[in-house]
Structure 1
Amino acid sequence: MSTVTVYTRAGCHLCEVAIATASRIAAETGSVVTTVDVDADPEDQAEYGDLVPVILVDGRMHGYYQVDPERLRAALATGPAAGP
């Protein structure tokens, strides 16, 4: 099972759309979606603040600004990346 993390911020319409799209696709694939408020942590804000919504799959950058449904489905279909 993979984890999709969406970095968001309050009042971000694109974030709401990204969460809804990621949640729908995650449900199709048996994956989990979590959200992180980018403004809650200065390091997250410095790294991702200008790019929200930011989408990570299993902790790896997948995309930003919007979710490409087919690309996300493909990433989740391969399952979690193997660890060392």
Structure 2
Amino acid sequence: MRIVLLTRAGCAACGTARTDLGRICGELGEGFDEVDVDERAAAGDPALRGEYGDRLPVVLLDGEEHSYWTVDEPRLRADLAP
């Protein structure tokens, strides 16, 4: 998936980012995946939590960190423009 939102349960900022990203992606015809870093770590893959766990939510675009703590809407829209 092109856009991935890294989150964790109980994170209020993650909920806001999910809502913002859903609105933006919906307007642009893009989808996104959501990955809970704690669930991934519990499943035996602690790398995402180790790398990003202290600055959630994190938006990844094409596998690279795009923004964290909030969705950088102007930048994301510009980067997704054709």
* Unaligned residue ranges in structure 2 (runs of 5+): none
SS at match of 1:74: helix
**Does the alignment pair 1:7 with 2:6?**
yes
2:73 maps to which of 58, 69, 75: 69
Aligned residue runs from structure 1 range 1-84, under 5 A:
3-39=2-38, 40-41=40-41, 42-78=46-82
Instruction: Note the C-alpha offset of 1:3.
Output: 2.5
Q: In percent, how many aligned pairs have the same letter?
A: 45
One-letter identity of the residue aligned with 2:31: V
Number of aligned residues: 77
- Provide TM-score, normalisation by structure 1: 0.84
SS at match of 1:66: coil
CA RMSD of aligned residues (A): 1.3
Structure 1 runs of 4+ with >2 Å offset = none
